Amino acid sequence: MAKIFCVANQKGGVGKTTTTVNLSAGLAKVGQRVLMVDLDPQGNATMGSGVDKRQLKLSVYDVLLESASIAEARVRSERLVEAGCSYDILGANRDLAGAEVELVDVERREKRLKEAIAAVDAEYDFVLIDCPPSLSMLTLNGLCAAHGVIVPMQCEYFALEGLSDLVNTIKQVHANLNKDLEIIGLLRVMFDPRITLQQQVSDQLKAHFGDKVFNTVIPRNVRLAEAPSYGLPGVAFDPAARGSQAFVDFAKEMVDRLGTLKPAAMPRAA
Ligand code: ADP
Ligand code: MG
């Protein structure tokens, strides 16, 4: 059974997509079988994995509307295969923006992704879902499908304030729709230790959330920002970069955490 995680935060530009594609690549690199689901109509995670969103024959949109299965719609990127960190991609493009409206009247509308993943669950160790920056029906599908939420955050002044909205939403989904859902952890991203305020907010986060804060810290690193324009996660584009190495460390931390918390999710023997 795959462990399924949403990468979510209502704020835009906080590093959700960067986290999703680099954690996917990092997990693949350490031998995990990964499906990455792009739930954002912007399709940045799709493009950032080397797949042209405009060329997709089938996408997550078709899966949500039940006109295709994930087995039919998923694709691979040759460039990720070459880089030795390949994962499967359920891509997204602007079609997905229409799904919101089209799902309004259908039954089980918030469970569509969950049901689709159940059919391919056994083929993966991890499913990572990149959410849009809102609490839309799309994000709700992600939260209903997941066992846990990974929250990337910048250690800035309003970071904690924004977090309380997300925590409340997750509590509501937990209570009403998905008993499995929990915040698996907060990931400090774009971190610059020279900035005193960032260090202070980081300390505050640890004081409030304890071991819900991941040990790995992702530094601000220009190679991570450059990688998407080459259609690759940083981990594949420049494996030696500090940011890339941090994401591989984060992948190992995820595998370790699941190993201790949930023994059933340990990677299986080949
Ligand atoms: P979101 O998906 O939350 O909107 P993105 O992952 O697209 O956020 O990141 C927003 C911008 O910040 C992008 O231009 C991305 O390349 C850049 N970025 C993300 N993480 C880092 C990092 N650790 N170091 C430098 N730039 C980063
Ligand atoms: Mg994004």
* Mean pLDDT, 10 residues at a time, the chain of 270 residues: 95 96 98 98 98 97 97 97 97 94 89 98 98 92 97 89 87 95 96 94 92 97 98 98 98 89 39
* CA 226 / ligand 1 centre spacing (Å): 10
Pocket test for ligand 1, best of 6, 16, 18 (most atoms within 8 A of CB): 18
Q: What local confidence, expressed as pLDDT, does residue 16 receive?
A: 98
Identify whether the C-beta of residue 85 lies closer than 8 Å to the C-beta of residue 248.
no
Instruction: Work out how many domains the chain is built from and give that number.
Output: 1
Convert 2-18 to b/e letters by CB count within 10 Å (16 or more is b).
bbbbbbbbbbeebbbbb
Is 55 part of a structural domain of the chain?
yes
Q: How many CB atoms lie within 10 A of CB 229?
A: 10
Q: What local confidence, expressed as pLDDT, does residue 162 receive?
A: 79
Q: Which tokens sit at 190?
A: 């774009």
Ligand 1 pocket member 190 (CB < 6 A): yes
Q: Which of 97, 99, 147 is nearest to 127 (CA)?
A: 147
CATH number at residue 135: 3.40.50.300
Ligand 1 pocket member 28 (CB < 6 A): no
* CA 182 / ligand 1 centre spacing (Å): 24
**Quick one: which ligand is closest to 9's CA?**
1
Determine the Cα angle at 67 with ends 63 and 72, to 5°. 65
- C-alpha to C-alpha distances, 219 to 200, 241, 246, nearest whole angstrom: 16, 10, 8
State how far the Cα of 232 lies from the Cα of 234, in Å rounded to an integer: 6
> Model pTM?
0.95
Is 202 part of a structural domain of the chain?
yes
- C-alpha to C-alpha distances, 195 to 13, 199, 217, 219, nearest whole angstrom: 19, 7, 14, 12
Q: Which tokens sit at 270?
A: 């080949």
ipTM entry: 0.99
Is 270 part of a structural domain of the chain?
no
Ligand 1 pocket member 243 (CB < 6 A): yes
Ligand 1 pocket member 227 (CB < 6 A): no
Is 82 part of a structural domain of the chain?
yes
Atom of ligand 1 lying closest to residue 191 CA: 23
Is 252 part of a structural domain of the chain?
yes
Ligand 1 pocket member 16 (CB < 6 A): yes
Q: What local confidence, expressed as pLDDT, does residue 267 receive?
A: 37
Question: Residue 174 sits in which domain range?
Answer: 3-265
